[in-house]
Amino acid sequence: MQKAKQILKEIFGYDSFRPLQQEIIESIVNKKDCLVVMPTGGGKSLCYQIPALMFDGLTIVISPLISLMKDQVEQLRQLGVETALLNSSLSQKDYNLNFTNVKSGKAKLLYLAPESLQKDDISTLLNSVNVDCITVDEAHCISEWGHDFRKDYRQLGNFKKSFSSAVCIGLTATATPRVQDDIMKNLKMDHPKKFIASFDRPNLFLQVIPKREPFLQVIDFLNEHKNQSGIIYCFSRKQVDSLHDNLSELGYSTKPYHAGLSDDERNTNQDLFIKDEVQIIIATIAFGMGINKSNVRFVLHYDLPKNLESYYQEIGRSGRDGVRSDCLLLFSYADISKINYFIDQKEDERERLSAKVHLEAMIKYAETEICRRHPLINYFGEVYKIDDCAMCDNCLAEEDDNDKVDVTVYAQKLLSTLKRTGEVFGLNYIIDVLLGNDTDRILSNNHHNLSVFGVGRDLSKKQWQILAHQLIRKEIVIRDSDYGSLKLSQSASDVLFNNKKVFGVIKEPEVKRKKLKSIGIEYDQKLFELLRIKRKQIADKKGIPPFVIFADSSLIQMAKDFPQTENEFLRIGGVGVKKLESYGSIFLSIIKNYLKNNDVKQKSIKQTTRIKKSALDEPRHRVVAKAYNDGSSITELAEEYNVQEQTIVNHLARFTNEGNRIRLDGLLERVTIDKSKQKKVFNEFDENGTVTMRNIFEKFNGEISYNELHLLRVIYLNNRKK
């Protein structure tokens, strides 16, 4: 493995392996077949590319999409790795050149589309060389259970048989066990080892806001992502076109993408996006397959996706380079109705039911009050063990005690209306009763004679909706996933009869997105821009996508560390010897010039290795916690990172949660409530866990602040470790 590490550093320019990469490489080098299931951006390619450089013979890579193949080959060539591809898109001259390189053994890797395997010239070629490894990318295409079945993939099992000394690897980002089994069976793998990586994508920032004035909300969001590349997903073609018109009129760099455009238009638009000519693609779900642009910095969902699988795939197209990327979903109840309407058009009842179950999971994700990674990751059958991911809106939002009031009386009104009308109606009907609207339906059901008729006139329709959704989130009210009718849960009777208090918001939420505290990476944006422009110039000259030259993560690190010598430049992630040779002097001279003409050096260098480390190598909470353990105080750290003290406490909580210890002295002195109350809080933690503070906050009727609760949580978690 020494050799593998050396290749990782010298060729690829990385210091350490990502989770599972090392094990997978070891298995491949030892010629053990394996199946690799890893989310997009997890780093699958390296797993077979490094062994390919260690084997004497050829590594064949089967990949379904020609566009993807081209980018990958280009990326390898930029790293100085001899790579060939053979397909119909090449000119005869290029085809011959690639062919010769494989035949002579010069090329270490050969990329092929599955349909090429049947071609006579190719099969003669492959039989004349020594093949050490057969890699099947997007291996789920072999399974009819996968979402992207391809007939051509079916013959891969037989193809493989004629290369008995080659190891076989299947790679996919699709997780279902059924598809996994299908892959191993159809590829006729020999006692394969399975490697399944976590589905968490820790660098994606997850956020959901109520959709109110979507166009303004989009503008607001885009203005926070100036000069960045991103995708906006819409439900319909019409919506795509109109959003594109409106945004481009305002000067935003956008292009549309949907099934209504000609192939040519779609390809052109996609190409412009990949080459950073256009910043924003506005698309229906038709967009994204076969894109491996690594510097997509945001994905905005203008409409609600139909299910969590699509949502996960779509947001997964951002942040492949590991740099923070923002995923925003605009959520509205009208969208749910729209999707339900389409589901109801389906003929097959089983299909309808399954679509509803999937939609329900999507809604749960959008409505959750706890860390969004819980409903998301758990959906894929994996248990997400961290309470507080620090990378979603719920984990980061300052819990807003001010907006919360005692809403028990309103809750009681709504619950009794549900009860009196028989728990079979949907929300709109219930609100009509509360507001005393004598609709035909209400009159025919005789509900205008109920005592609850009109008892809710003190709130607006909108306010009742908001309240109802909070009761659903708190599981006091349960929504039937088939019919949308509302029912009372067990705990509803506590509210109705035992005077259990309910806290919530009845104020209509503001239209604007809550400003979340920035947790971005500190780097010199001006320098980054200069480097980005240079990257684009070089890419254009060579006719390749910019991210193939350097990933965003590499440019960011340059704009943070200011390398000035070749050795320093080699320390940048993603810079190997070949990239240093090709681009080192150009980029170094930009950096040196910049430092000479700007007074940045002092400031940035002073930002110590701590911040440097935090951005790309080590998660922020660990860096903070270690600094804390080394003696920095919470106040000092909050100042250093320019965040509230609460955030630092949250980092410490997360660190403890991962099984680490922290020193307690600095925490204990901040606790203000007395011992007996502390004990009560700890008992609550014992009983109900530490995932959400909200229940406990409400249990103590808001007497213990969130700040205090978060603090006690850290102390609790730390003591539990003893």
Q: What is the Cα–Cα distance from 136 to 141, expressed in whole angstroms? A: 10
673-694 as b/e, with b when 16 or more CB fall inside 10 Å?
Answer: beeebbeebbebbeeeebebbb
Compute the C-alpha angle 664/667/669, nearest 5°.
110
State the nearest-atom distance from the C-beta of 10 to ligand ADP, in Å: 13
C-beta neighbour count of 505 within 10 angstroms: 16
From residue 533, give the alpha-carbon distance in Å to each of 128, 276, 583, 584, 596: 45, 10, 14, 16, 19
Q: Is 294 in the site for ligand ADP (CB under 6 A)?
A: yes
Q: Which is nearer to ligand ADP, 40 or 632 (CB)?
A: 40
Q: Which is nearer to Zn ion, 27 or 368 (CB)?
A: 368
State the nearest-atom distance from the C-beta of 137 to ligand ADP, in Å: 8
Q: Which is nearer to ligand ADP, 17 or 594 (CB)?
A: 17
Q: What is the Cα–Cα distance from 535 to 634, expressed in whole angstroms? A: 40
In 505-643, the DSSP E strands lie at none
Among 70, 297, 320, 447, binds ligand ADP (CB under 6 A): 320
Please report the sign of the dihedral spanned by the C-alpha atoms of residue 367, residue 368, residue 369, residue 373: negative
Q: Is 187 in the site for ligand ADP (CB under 6 A)?
A: no
For residue 655, the partner it binds in ligand ADP, Zn ion, none, with Cβ less than 5 to 8 A by kind, is: none
Among 45, 228, 340, 629, binds ligand ADP (CB under 6 A): 45
- Segment interacting with Zn ion (CB under 5 A) among 351-359, 387-395, 582-590, 636-644: 387-395
State the nearest-atom distance from the C-beta of 236 to ligand ADP, in Å: 29
Q: What is the Cα–Cα distance from 374 to 200, expressed in whole angstroms? A: 10
C-beta neighbour count of 621 within 10 angstroms: 26
Helices and strands, number each (H, E), in the chain = 35, 17
- Segment interacting with ligand ADP (CB under 6 A) among 15-23, 556-564, 622-630, 643-651: 15-23
For residue 43, the partner it binds in Zn ion, ligand ADP, none, with Cβ less than 5 to 8 A by kind, is: ligand ADP
For residue 371, the partner it binds in ligand ADP, Zn ion, none, with Cβ less than 5 to 8 A by kind, is: Zn ion
Q: Is 77 in the site for ligand ADP (CB under 6 A)?
A: no
State the nearest-atom distance from the C-beta of 19 to Zn ion, in Å: 20
Among 573, 576, 584, 619, binds ligand ADP (CB under 6 A): 573
Cβ(703)–Cβ(651) under 8 Å? Answer: no
Q: Which is nearer to Zn ion, 65 or 519 (CB)?
A: 519
Binding mask 340-379 for Zn ion (x = CB under 5 A): -------------------------------x--------
State the nearest-atom distance from the C-beta of 619 to Zn ion, in Å: 13
**Phi, psi values for residue 115, rounded to 5°:** -70, -20
State the nearest-atom distance from the C-beta of 18 to Zn ion, in Å: 21
Q: What is the Cα–Cα distance from 317 to 547, expressed in whole angstroms? A: 14
From residue 551, give the alpha-carbon distance in Å to each of 271, 541, 555, 564, 620: 17, 18, 7, 19, 21
State the nearest-atom distance from the C-beta of 43 to ligand ADP, in Å: 3
Q: Is 638 in the site for ligand ADP (CB under 6 A)?
A: no
State the nearest-atom distance from the C-beta of 72 to ligand ADP, in Å: 8
Among 173, 392, 667, 712, binds Zn ion (CB under 5 A): 392
Q: Which is nearer to ligand ADP, 143 or 294 (CB)?
A: 294
Q: Is 504 in the site for ligand ADP (CB under 6 A)?
A: no
Among 175, 389, 431, 496, binds Zn ion (CB under 5 A): 389
C-beta neighbour count of 271 within 10 angstroms: 14
Q: Is 302 in the site for ligand ADP (CB under 6 A)?
A: no
Among 20, 35, 38, 442, binds ligand ADP (CB under 6 A): 38
Q: What is the Cα–Cα distance from 540 to 409, expressed in whole angstroms? A: 65
For residue 389, the partner it binds in Zn ion, ligand ADP, none, with Cβ less than 5 to 8 A by kind, is: Zn ion
Among 7, 11, 17, 206, binds ligand ADP (CB under 6 A): 17
Q: What is the Cα–Cα distance from 648 to 666, expressed in whole angstroms? A: 12
Please report the sign of the dihedral spanned by the C-alpha atoms of residue 54, residue 59, residue 61, residue 66: positive
State the nearest-atom distance from the C-beta of 380 to ligand ADP, in Å: 16
Residue type, 366: A
Q: Is 327 in the site for Zn ion (CB under 5 A)?
A: no
* Helix orientation angle between 461-473 and 408-420, rounded to the nearest 10 degrees: 90
Q: Which is nearer to Zn ion, 116 or 368 (CB)?
A: 368
Of 49, 11, 316, the residue nearest 174 (C-alpha): 316
State the nearest-atom distance from the C-beta of 286 to ligand ADP, in Å: 20
For residue 392, the partner it binds in Zn ion, ligand ADP, none, with Cβ less than 5 to 8 A by kind, is: Zn ion
Of 92, 274, 60, the residue nearest 167 (C-alpha): 60
Binding residue count for ligand ADP, defined by CB under 6 A:
19
Token readout for 382 is 């994996």
Q: Is 44 in the site for ligand ADP (CB under 6 A)?
A: yes
Q: Is 81 in the site for ligand ADP (CB under 6 A)?
A: no
Q: What is the Cα–Cα distance from 512 to 474, expressed in whole angstroms? A: 24
Among 4, 41, 192, 442, binds ligand ADP (CB under 6 A): 41
Of 163, 166, 168, 220, the residue nearest 193 (C-alpha): 168
For residue 136, the partner it binds in ligand ADP, Zn ion, none, with Cβ less than 5 to 8 A by kind, is: none
Secondary structure, 3-state, 9-55: HHCCCCCCCCCCHHHHHHHHHCCCCEEEECCCCCCHHHHHHHHHHHC
Token readout for 19 is 């989770």
State the nearest-atom distance from the C-beta of 377 to Zn ion, in Å: 10
For residue 38, the partner it binds in ligand ADP, Zn ion, none, with Cβ less than 5 to 8 A by kind, is: ligand ADP
For residue 46, the partner it binds in ligand ADP, Zn ion, none, with Cβ less than 5 to 8 A by kind, is: ligand ADP
Token readout for 328 is 């925003």
Question: Which ranges of 275-385 does DSSP label H, i.e. alpha helix?
Answer: 308-315, 333-344, 349-367, 373-379
For residue 395, the partner it binds in ligand ADP, Zn ion, none, with Cβ less than 5 to 8 A by kind, is: Zn ion
Q: Using CB under 5 A, list all residues that contact Zn ion.
A: 371, 389, 392, 395
Q: Using CB under 6 A, list all residues that contact ligand ADP.
A: 14, 17-18, 21, 38, 40-46, 292, 294, 320-322, 551, 573
